[in-house]
Chains A and B, each alone.
Chain A
Amino acid sequence: MSLDICWPIGIMFSLVGAMLAVFGLVTRASEEMYKRSLDININLWWGLALLVFGGFMLFNAWKNSKKVK
Chain B
Amino acid sequence: MTSVSLGWMDYAIMLIYVGAVLGIGQALRKYMKSSNDFFLSGRSIPAWVTGLAFISANLGALELVGMAASGAKYGMMTCHFYWIGAILAMTFLAVFMMPFYYGSKARSVPEYLNMRFDGRVRCLNSITFAVMTVFASGISMNALAKLLHSLLGWNYHMSLWICSGVVLLYVLKGGLTSAIYTEVLQFFMIVLGFSPVVYLGLKDVGGWSALKEKLAWVAQNPASIGVGDKPFLADAWTGAWSPMLRGASANPMGVDIFAMVFGLGFVLAFGYWCTNFLVVQRAMAAKDMSAARRTPLIGAIPKMLIPALVILPGMIAAGLAFSGKDGYRLPPRPIAESAYEKIVPAVRHAAAAGLTGEAAVQEVAKAAGVKMMPTKVDEIVKAAPTLNDADIKSRVQNAVVENDYDGVILSLIKRYCPTGLLGLALTALLASFMSGMAGNVTAFNTIWTYDLYQAYIGKNKGDSHYMWMGRVATVAGILISIACAYFAAMYNNAMDVIQLVFGFVNAPLFATFLLGMFWKRITATGAFIGLLLGTATSGVFHALTLATGNAPGVKGGYLGVVQYFPSEMAQNFWLASFAFLTCLVLTTVISLATKQNRTDEELTGLVYSLTPKIQSAHEPWHLRPGVIAVILLVVCLGLNIIFF
Contact A20–B31 (Cβ < 8 Å): no
Q: How many residues of B contact A (CB 8 A)?
A: 33
Taking CB atoms, residues of chain A closer than 8 Å to B44 are 1-2
Contact B420–A24 (Cβ < 8 Å): yes
Contact B27–A19 (Cβ < 8 Å): no
Taking CB atoms, residues of chain B closer than 8 Å to A36 are 415-418
Taking CB atoms, residues of chain B closer than 8 Å to A20 are 9, 13, 420-421, 424
Give A19 Cβ to nearest chain B Cβ, in Å. 7
Partner of B24, one of A8, A15, A47: A8
Annotate B14-36 by CB proximity to A: 1 below 8 A, 0 otherwise. Answer: 00110010011001100100000
Q: Given the interface contacts A2-B31, A3-B31, does A8 sit within 8 Å of B418 by beta carbon?
A: no
Contact A42–B418 (Cβ < 8 Å): yes
Partner of A37, one of B31, B418, B424: B418
Q: Given the interface contacts A15-B16, A34-B418, A38-B204, does A23 sit within 8 Å of B9 by beta carbon?
A: yes
Contact A3–B17 (Cβ < 8 Å): no
Annotate B200-239 by CB proximity to A: 1 below 8 A, 0 otherwise. Answer: 1001100000000000000000000000000000000000
Residue from B16, B27, B28, B418 having most chain A Cβ neighbours under 10 A: B418
Taking CB atoms, residues of chain A closer than 8 Å to B567 are none
CA gap between A48 and B16 in the complex, in Å: 17
Contact B192–A53 (Cβ < 8 Å): yes
Residue from A9, A12, A49 having most chain B Cβ neighbours under 10 A: A12
Give B21 Cβ to nearest chain A Cβ, in Å. 8
Contact A43–B181 (Cβ < 8 Å): no
Taking CB atoms, residues of chain B closer than 8 Å to A24 are 420
Partner of B419, one of A3, A13, A33, A40: A33
What is the chain B residue whose CB lies nearest that of A50?
A: B192
CA gap between A27 and B27 in the complex, in Å: 36
Taking CB atoms, residues of chain B closer than 8 Å to A38 are 200, 203-204, 416
Residue B373, interface by CB 8 Å: no
Annotate B180-196 by CB proximity to A: 1 below 8 A, 0 otherwise. Answer: 01001100100010001
CA gap between A19 and B7 in the complex, in Å: 13
Residue A29, interface by CB 8 Å: no
Residue B305, interface by CB 8 Å: no
Contact A5–B49 (Cβ < 8 Å): yes
Q: Number of contact residues on A: which range applies?
A: 20 to 34
CA gap between A9 and B9 in the complex, in Å: 20
Main secondary structure of the interface of A (DSSP, over half): helix
Contact B185–A9 (Cβ < 8 Å): yes
Q: Given the interface contacts A8-B23, A16-B16, does A42 sit within 8 Å of B192 by beta carbon?
A: no
Taking CB atoms, residues of chain A closer than 8 Å to B185 are 5, 8-9, 12
What is the chain A residue whose CB lies nearest that of B422?
A: A36
Contact B200–A37 (Cβ < 8 Å): yes
Taking CB atoms, residues of chain A closer than 8 Å to B17 are 12
Main secondary structure of the interface of B (DSSP, over half): helix
Contact B421–A42 (Cβ < 8 Å): yes
Residue B177, interface by CB 8 Å: yes
Taking CB atoms, residues of chain A closer than 8 Å to B204 are 38
What is the chain A residue whose CB lies nearest that of B32?
A: A2
Contact A9–B424 (Cβ < 8 Å): no
Annotate B137-174 by CB proximity to A: 1 below 8 A, 0 otherwise. Answer: 00000000000000000000000000000000000000
Contact B418–A43 (Cβ < 8 Å): yes
Taking CB atoms, residues of chain B closer than 8 Å to A12 are 16-17, 20, 185
CA gap between A45 and B12 in the complex, in Å: 19
Taking CB atoms, residues of chain B closer than 8 Å to A2 are 28, 31, 42, 44, 177
Contact A16–B418 (Cβ < 8 Å): no
Give B188 Cβ to nearest chain A Cβ, in Å. 6
What is the chain A residue whose CB lies nearest that of B28?
A: A3
Contact B416–A37 (Cβ < 8 Å): yes
CA gap between A8 and B184 in the complex, in Å: 11
Taking CB atoms, residues of chain A closer than 8 Å to B12 are 19
Contact B192–A13 (Cβ < 8 Å): yes
Contact A43–B420 (Cβ < 8 Å): yes
CA gap between A1 and B50 in the complex, in Å: 13
Taking CB atoms, residues of chain A closer than 8 Å to B181 are 3, 5, 8
Partner of A13, one of B42, B177, B188, B418: B188
Contact B24–A16 (Cβ < 8 Å): no
What is the chain A residue whose CB lies nearest that of B20?
A: A12
Give B617 Cβ to nearest chain A Cβ, in Å. 27
Interface residues, chain B, CB within 8 Å of chain A? 9, 12-13, 16-17, 20, 23-24, 27-28, 31, 42, 44, 46, 49, 177, 181, 184-185, 188, 192, 196, 200, 203-204, 415-421, 424
Interface residues, chain A, CB within 8 Å of chain B? 1-3, 5, 8-9, 11-13, 15-16, 19-20, 23-24, 27, 33-34, 36-38, 40, 42-43, 46-47, 49-50, 53
28 CB-based A-B contacts, threshold 8 Å:
A2-B28, A2-B44, A2-B177, A3-B28, A3-B177, A5-B184, A5-B185, A8-B23, A8-B24, A8-B27, A12-B17, A19-B9, A19-B12, A20-B424, A23-B420, A27-B420, A36-B416, A37-B196, A37-B418, A37-B421, A38-B200, A38-B416, A42-B421, A43-B420, A43-B421, A46-B196, A47-B420, A53-B188
The 3 closest A-B pairs by CB, nearest first: A43-B420, A2-B31, A12-B20
Give 17 new A-B contacts, CB below 8 A, not counting A34-B418, A42-B417.
Answer: A2-B42, A3-B181, A5-B184, A5-B185, A8-B20, A8-B27, A9-B185, A12-B185, A16-B16, A19-B16, A20-B9, A33-B419, A36-B416, A38-B204, A38-B416, A42-B200, A50-B192
